[in-house]
Every structure is written in C-alpha cells, then in structure tokens.
Amino acid sequence: MGKLRPMEGNEAIAEAMRQINPDVVAAYPITPSTEAVQIFARFVADGQVDTNYVAVESEHSAMSACIAASLAGGRVMNVTASQGLALMWEMLYIAASLRSTVVLSVANRALSGNINIHCDHSDAMGARDAGWLQLYGENVQEAYDNAIQAVVIAEREDVRLPVMNCYDGFLVSHSYELLEVEEDEAVREFVGPYKPVRPLLDVQNPYTIGPLDLYDFYHEHKRSQWEAYRPAKQAVIEVGKAFGERFGRSYGLLEPYFLDDAELVIVALGSTAGIVKDIVEQRREGGERVGLLKIRSFRPFPAEEIADALGSARALAVMDRAAGFGSGFGTLYPEVAAALYAGGKQVPVVDYIYGLGGRMVLPEEIHQVYNELAPVAASGHPEQLTRWLGVRE
Amino acid sequence: MAKNIKQLSHSPDRLTAGHRLCPGCAEPMIVRQVLMAAGDRPVIAANATGCLEVSSTIFPYTAWNIPWIHLAFENAGATISGVEAMYQQWRKQGKIDPVQRYALVAFGGDGGTYDIGLQSLSGMAERWHDCVYVCLNNEAYMNTGVQRSSATLYGANTTTSPAGRVIPGKSVHRKDLTMVMAAHDIPYVAQVAPASPPHWRHLVNAAEKAFDYEGPAFLNVLSPCPLGWICDASKTPELAKLAADTCLWPMYEVDHGEWKLLYRPKEKLPIEVYLEPQGRFRHLFRGEKAEEIRRRIQEWVDYKWEQLLRLCGDA
C-alpha cells in the first residue's frame, strides 16, 4: 500500500522520478514545469538519487543530450512545457525515429504568441505527429501513475519509443491533491532495471546511429517505425492493467464514464475530464443519459476503441484545448471524427474550442455543451460544427 | 606522450576508406589523425550534420569502425554531452572498467560550430564534459553548396556572399572562435591545420593533449576545401601551410591558460600568396576595389597576429 501525501503535480512528477532513479536527466527549467526540475535537482544534490543531472543551456540541447544518453545505454527522463517543447520540436522526431526511450513529462501550457504561461494543449498537440506516445493525465495521481507506467511502456522490447506524460499546466502542476505515493521498492520493482538495446557505449560492437538515409531506404524505415505503434497500443493496455494489479489503480487507452447508455457524450483530454465527471453525475441524477469519454492515450490513438465505446451516442462534443489554425477545427476533433467515420458510426459531432491560455472552464459551460447537444441529437445535424466556449465576442 | 609517425601508422583504422568525401578534402585526413591521437583508448564519435556525416554514413554503408552518433546539425556539443553523461554513469555502475578511459570526440563543420551549434558547444564546455570537440573548419557551408558562415574570410566569394558588381564578396571579417573557446577557460584549446611535414605534428600533438586532459577540449582545424575554395585537389596541404605562413591561420594552443605559438614562420608572407591560388578570391585580383580589399585583409591579419603574439608573450 502506498502512503497518502499531499502533493502538487510537479512535486509528484519529481517524486516519481526520484523513485525511478533514472541514469540521466538533462533538463532546462520552464514554467509551469520548473518546480519538478528544481525538486529533482535537490534530490540529486542531497544524494537521494544516482542520476547524472545535466543542467543544459536550452531545451534543444536538453532533448539532444537526452536522446544521446538514452541511445548510449541508459534510462533517461526529462520535464518541460510550452516553448521548451516547441524548441525541442526538431529533436522530438529524431528521438522517436532513432527509437530512444526518453520519458518526458509535459506540463501543458499555451504556445506564444502572445506569451502566456497557462494551460492549453497546443504544445503537445504541436508534437502529435513526431512519433512519441502521449498519455494525458486528469489529476496529480494520474500524472504520477503515468510517469511510472511511461517508463515501462517506452522500454518494452516491442515498443522502444519515447513517451510524453502530459499533465495540465497549473491546473495539475500546481494543484495540491491527496496523492497515493507508492513505496520506493514497489515502484523500482515495477519499472525494473534498464535493459539497453545496442547501446552506443558498447565499444565491442560499434555501429552507426543516425546515418544519411535516402530514398532507397528512408521509406522502409518509416514503415517499420509505423508498425511500432500497434504493439505500443497493446503495451499501454497491458502496463495499465499490470499497474492496476500491483497498485490498485487500473488504466487503459480510454476511460469511459457513464457511457454504456449515454446519448449525449463529451470527449475530453486532461483535467477538464474531472469537471465533466461532476456535471455528468449531476445530470444523471436528473435522469439524463449523458456521459464522458476521456482519452488517456492520444498517441497511439485508439480509433477503433473510440468507435466501439460510443455505441449508444446520438451526439458528441469534442473538447479541444488547442486550435488547429486554418483547419477549421481543434486538433482532437478531426481524429475523433475520422475514428467514427472509419468505424461506420453516423453520429453528429460538434467541436468546442475552449480554455486557451488557461481560460477557466466553468461548470455552467459544461452544462451549456450538454444543453446544446440535445437539439443536435434530435435533428441529427449540428448547425454550427465548430464553436468557441467561453469566448467574448 | 607523443608518438612517432611509425607508431601512429599502427593505430587502428577508425575511419576507413570508402567514404565519399571529395578528392583533396582535408576532413578525412584530419579525422584520421585526430583518431590516431586517441591511442589505444576506445573511441566514440558524435557528428554534426555536414560533409563528414553525409559522406561517411550513406545507409546501408558506414565508414566508421567505432561507435558513431549523429542527431542533428546544431547539437554535436549537446550530443557528446549526453553520451558523456551516460559514460560517467556506466563507469560509476561498474559497467566500464574505471581504469579504461574512453576518448569521446565530436566533429562539426564551421557552420555547425561557429554558427548554429555555438550555443550547444559553449554549454558543453561550460559544463566540463570530458570530451574533445573538433571543428573541421572549411570556412563556409560546403555541404549545401558554399554558403558563407561566420568563419568565412572577409572578401571571400560564396553563394550567399557573392562577389557582385556592387558588393565584392563577404563584407565582414570572420569571428575568432578559437579565442571565444579559450575564454571558456577549459583545459585545452588549439588552432591547428593539417599541413605537410613538419606541420602535421601540430595537429596530432594537439589532439593527443586534448584527449589526455580531463575535461573539455576544443580544436579548431583549418580544412582546405577544393570545392569551395576553388583550387586543385592536390593543393590541400600547401594551402594549409600558406595559411600558417601568412599568419592568416596562426597555429597556437591555450594549455590551461598558457598561450603558446606552435609555429612562427621565419618570414611572414603577404596574404596574396595564399589568396591568389584560390578561385574564391579571384575577384580580389582585378577591378578597382581589389587592392583596397586585399589591404583590409592584410591589416586585419596583422592586427590579429600582433594580438596573438602579445597573448603568447612573443611580441
């Protein structure tokens, strides 16, 4: 059994990192993830971990050093947000393509400009096609649990891909929660020792990492990378199940909430799911068939599972905390819509762009979404496909 | 300590034949000599994007007999930092014999070092990673077709500083990166060139010292480039030697803060003997502005040379 301790999200991430005790952390501080790095640096300074902490001079170098250290032959973790993740962008693709197993916790924050330090998902969504797995946590407990599971998922022999552990900036990173912190030994046993695959440091077996790869091979290499996301999906499921068996909190690709008979359904990522759950309970008391589909694994994207989970839905609202400028939608909407289309589900889907730059999401606004979904379900046709929630116009 | 040429010739072949660098390119010569200087230590190399990287690792082939890693253009310093961080962990964990010291080396061109990779290099030096960074300085972005860098000489004709009717080549002097790196107060910094005997020794000696010292070291090595300098492929060592004899590329080291000239020409030659054989300076020998530009280059070379002599206590 773990111990209940009050902790902020960043503190919980640092705590998970202390327990995991990675070989290398090469990090650069950025709001709202800075605290996690600071707390971890203190663990290093006090000798509570064996980690080689490399205080790099930028996020670009942070990710470069993380990839190199990972491929050199060890377990590597890092934390960032927003502009930091954006500066890493070039290296994110390289991290995945070279099959490094870096675990990066991301305290989701809006991207400039204008500069804003508060939560939305534009940072991680900007990296959605980089080849990383992305898990979204709803609260501090999930951020902590996902950090531990991310290591196991990343390092599985049939996966070998980097993982982003996304948790909402400020809303989770700076919120105190009574957290179940597991025993150090139990966490270490769950993640196990790092098993390097063809480490660069093995000088007896030299090989070339990151060569020039032209039209005669690049296409095939991308195809083989493509194949890795199928076992990755299985890994997210199996590791989530194993975590539940060990610690009593199970995870999957999705979390359905009152979905079995739900007619009006909200699809959401991250901390917003928590608010939606409250509203679902309230409206259920009034006899309304409303539900929530929380997506935990955005990459790999569980398209079939989403289509299957929405069997009884008559209208859907996708909550998008990142605007896909020029696409006419947020970033989650097209993926959900494609999943439904491919799954043969004819359900009207409305997109709600909300909460950009930390704009607070009020319970009334979630009520508003359900209220607006009712006529959509009745008519089968939304009048307006993309709507902005809580915006002054 | 310093090995003779016979001993060096028995060093393991770490970069083999079969790479596709241009005829006359100084880079493989420099790289092989630097790797020889690592002696019997296991060597791991990181490479910035550039000529050396693209020409030595065209998948599924590789010319490297040592562990080698390339991530991107601007981050060879950070890449070798990450390798070194994990190397220290493996030593601590007993996975590497602590007596056995690895030689960790990063190669970057002047574009990847003077320009886009400067921050990453500075970070590597400041954090005191135990590694050697070698700049293969051919004074422009040769891999992408001869664009100017901050290592390009004043007046040089490149594709992004073309010698035109109004602007005669690059309009500003080059940055003195060797001094920038010396200002990091790292154990060892040297500026050398792969010239013909007896000068080749300076490169190998400098590389030996760089590998011997614990902590970061930086070597700035002039790398004549027949393609971009527009000269015959046979002229590589000769041009490197002329660069030293004109004092346009003085060879010196900063060993734990001690500045020392490695080579002082008996007679300091005028810059024209270096500029004239190179097509990139052809426009400096015709037209009314030519003499004025050559004079400015000479003045700048004299100024930098005097400055260096003062630092070396040889003035």
Place of tokens 């070597």: B219
pLDDT computed for residue A177 by the predictor:
97
SS3 of residue A85 by DSSP: helix
On chain A, the residues whose CB falls within 8 A of the CB of B38 are: none
pLDDT computed for residue A312 by the predictor:
87
Residue A50 touches chain B, beta carbons under 8 Å: yes
Residue A25 touches chain B, beta carbons under 8 Å: no
Q: What is the mean pLDDT of residues B80-109?
A: 96
| Res. A253: pLDDT tops 60 | yes
Residue A1 — very low, low, confident or very high, per pLDDT cuts 50/70/90?
Answer: confident
Tell me whether residues A68 and B79 touch, CB distance under 8 A.
yes
Closest-CA residue of chain A to B61: A211
Give the integer Cα–Cα distance in Å for B23 and B21.
7
**Residue A152 CA: distances (Å) to CA of A102, A244, A377, B65, B84:** 11, 14, 41, 33, 25
Tell me whether residues B86 and A73 touch, CB distance under 8 A.
yes
Tell me whether residues A61 and B127 touch, CB distance under 8 A.
no
Q: What is the mean pLDDT of residues B45-50?
A: 98
On chain B, the residues whose CB falls within 8 A of the CB of A193 are: none
| Res. B258: pLDDT tops 90 | yes
Give the integer Cα–Cα distance in Å for B230 and B87.
42
pLDDT digits (tens, 9 = 90+) for A48-97: 999 999 999 999 999 999 999 999 999 999 999 999 999 999 999 999 99
> Which residues lie below 8 Å from residue B235, measured CB to CB, with a gap of 6+?
B24, B224, B226, B277
| Res. B98: pLDDT tops 90 | no
**Cα–chain center distance at A186:** 24
Q: A184 and A271 in contact (C-beta within 8 Å)? A: no
Q: What is the mean pLDDT of residues A203-207?
A: 96
Residue A44 touches chain B, beta carbons under 8 Å: no
Tell me whether residues B59 and A50 touch, CB distance under 8 A.
no
Give the integer Cα–Cα distance in Å for A153 and A239.
7
The distance of B167 to chain A (nearest Cα, Å) reads 35
User: Which of B135, B96, B153 shows the shortest CA–CA distance to B293?
Assistant: B153
pLDDT computed for residue B199 by the predictor:
77
pLDDT digits (tens, 9 = 90+) for A5-62: 999 999 999 999 999 999 999 999 999 999 999 999 999 999 999 999 999 999 999 9
Give the integer Cα–Cα distance in Å for A277 and A170.
20
Closest-CA residue of chain A to B119: A57
User: Which of A118, A142, A170 shows the shortest CA–CA distance to A12?
Assistant: A142
Closest-CA residue of chain B to A57: B123
Lowest mean pLDDT among A374-378, B2-6, B31-35: B2-6
User: Which of A39, A2, A35 shows the shortest CA–CA distance to A18?
Assistant: A39
| Res. B2: pLDDT tops 70 | no
The residue ranking higher by pLDDT, B4 or B146, is B146
Tell me whether residues A98 and B123 touch, CB distance under 8 A.
no
Q: What is the mean pLDDT of residues B207-214?
A: 97
Tell me whether residues A61 and B102 touch, CB distance under 8 A.
no
Which helix H or strand E contains B104, and what residues bound it? strand B103-109
Tell me whether residues A24 and B86 touch, CB distance under 8 A.
yes
Dihedral angle computed from the Cα positions of residues B36, B37, B38 and B44, in that order, rounded to the nearest 10 degrees: -60
Q: What is the mean pLDDT of residues A291-301?
A: 98
> Which residues lie below 8 Å from residue B232, measured CB to CB, with a gap of 6+?
B24, B226
Closest-CA residue of chain B to A26: B82
Give the integer Cα–Cα distance in Å for A51 and A22.
6
Question: What secondary structure does DSSP assign to A100-154, as a single string?
Answer: ---EEEEEE-PPSSS---S--SHHHHHTTTSS-EEEE-SSHHHHHHHHHHHHHHH
User: Which of B113, B26, B15, B111 shows the shortest CA–CA distance to B56?
Assistant: B15
Tell me whether residues A203 and B42 touch, CB distance under 8 A.
yes
On chain A, the residues whose CB falls within 8 A of the CB of B64 are: 206, 208
Residue A90 touches chain B, beta carbons under 8 Å: yes
Interface test with B, best of A21, A25, A53, A56 (most B CBs within 10 A): A56
What are the respective helix, strand and coil percentages of chain A, to the nearest 5? 40, 20, 40
**Residue A7 CA: distances (Å) to CA of A168, A258, A334, A359:** 15, 29, 36, 24
Tell me whether residues A69 and B83 touch, CB distance under 8 A.
yes
| Res. A303: pLDDT tops 80 | yes
pLDDT digits (tens, 9 = 90+) for B127-156: 999 999 999 999 999 999 999 999 999 999
Q: What is the mean pLDDT of residues A124-150?
A: 98
Percent of chain B residues past pLDDT 70, beyond the cut: 99
Give the integer Cα–Cα distance in Å for A219 and A229.
17
- Mean pLDDT, chain A, rounded, equals 97
The residue ranking higher by pLDDT, B288 or B208, is B208
Interface test with B, best of A25, A50, A54 (most B CBs within 10 A): A54
The residue ranking higher by pLDDT, B196 or A143, is A143
Interface test with A, best of B86, B88, B104, B144 (most A CBs within 10 A): B86
Q: What is the mean pLDDT of residues B260-271?
A: 96
pLDDT computed for residue B209 by the predictor:
98
When CB atoms are compared, the residue of A68, A91, A211 closest to B58 is A211
User: Which of B196, B180, B88, B197 shows the shortest CA–CA distance to B133?
Assistant: B180
SS3 of residue B52 by DSSP: helix
pLDDT computed for residue A311 by the predictor:
81
pLDDT computed for residue B7 by the predictor:
83
Sequence-ordered strand ranges (E) for B183-284: 188-192, 217-222, 252-255, 258-261
**Residue B266 CA: distances (Å) to CA of B236, B245, B263, B277:** 21, 8, 9, 22
On chain A, the residues whose CB falls within 8 A of the CB of B119 are: 57-58, 61
Give the integer Cα–Cα distance in Å for A70 and B10.
34
pLDDT computed for residue A257 by the predictor:
98
Interface test with B, best of A53, A59, A64 (most B CBs within 10 A): A64
**Residue B92 CA: distances (Å) to CA of A50, A185, B86, B218:** 9, 21, 10, 26
CATH fold for the domain made of A3-247 = Rossmann fold (3.40.50)
The distance of A55 to chain B (nearest Cα, Å) reads 8
Residue A71 touches chain B, beta carbons under 8 Å: yes
Instruction: For residue B216, give both structure tokens.
Output: 């970061």
Interface test with A, best of B41, B56, B58, B71 (most A CBs within 10 A): B71
Place of tokens 């049939």: A158
Residue A78 touches chain B, beta carbons under 8 Å: no
Residue A72 touches chain B, beta carbons under 8 Å: yes
Give the integer Cα–Cα distance in Å for A80 and A14.
12
Tell me whether residues A69 and B86 touch, CB distance under 8 A.
yes
The distance of B283 to chain A (nearest Cα, Å) reads 36
When CB atoms are compared, the residue of A57, A62, A66 closest to B119 is A57
Tell me whether residues B58 and A203 touch, CB distance under 8 A.
no
The distance of A211 to chain B (nearest Cα, Å) reads 5
The distance of B285 to chain A (nearest Cα, Å) reads 40
> Which residues lie below 8 Å from residue A139, measured CB to CB, with a gap of 6+?
A172, A175, A177, A271, A274
| Res. B121: pLDDT tops 80 | yes
CATH of A254-388, one of 3.30.930.10, 3.40.930.10, 3.40.50.920, 3.40.225.10: 3.40.50.920
Q: A97 and A71 in contact (C-beta within 8 Å)? A: no
| Res. B4: pLDDT tops 90 | no
Give me the total of CB pairs closer than 8 Å, taking one residue from chain A and one from chain B: 153
Rg for chain A, CA atoms, rounded = 21
When CB atoms are compared, the residue of B44, B74, B127 closest to A54 is B127
Q: What is the mean pLDDT of residues B216-244?
A: 97
Tell me whether residues A208 and B68 touch, CB distance under 8 A.
yes
On chain A, the residues whose CB falls within 8 A of the CB of B43 are: 203
Give the Cβ contact number of residue A156 at 10 Å: 18
Q: Please list the residues that pair with A164 across neighbouring strands.
A: A104, A134
Interface test with B, best of A70, A194, A204, A209 (most B CBs within 10 A): A209
pLDDT computed for residue B287 by the predictor:
87
Percent of chain A residues past pLDDT 90, beyond the cut: 98
Dihedral angle computed from the Cα positions of residues A19, A21, A27 and A30, in that order, rounded to the nearest 10 degrees: 0
Residue B198 — very low, low, confident or very high, per pLDDT cuts 50/70/90?
Answer: confident
Q: What is the mean pLDDT of residues A271-275?
A: 98
- Is the domain spanning B5-311 CATH 3.80.30.20? The answer is no
Lowest mean pLDDT among A156-165, A240-249, B306-315: B306-315
- Fold match between domain A3-247 and domain A254-388: yes
pLDDT computed for residue B5 by the predictor:
78
**Cα–chain center distance at A307:** 20
Give the integer Cα–Cα distance in Å for B195 and A138.
63
Give the Cβ contact number of residue B18 at 10 Å: 9
Phi, psi (deg, nearest 5) at residue A184: -50, -50
The residue ranking higher by pLDDT, B306 or B97, is B306
pLDDT computed for residue B1 by the predictor:
53
* In chain A, alpha helices (H): 9-20, 34-45, 59-73, 82-87, 89-97, 122-126, 140-155, 184-191, 218-227, 229-247, 272-285, 303-309, 333-342, 363-379
Residue A194 touches chain B, beta carbons under 8 Å: no
Boundaries of every domain in chain A: 3-247, 254-388
The sign of the torsion formed by the CA atoms of A324, A329, A335, A338 equals negative
> Which residues lie below 8 Å from residue B278, measured CB to CB, with a gap of 6+?
B229, B230, B231, B239
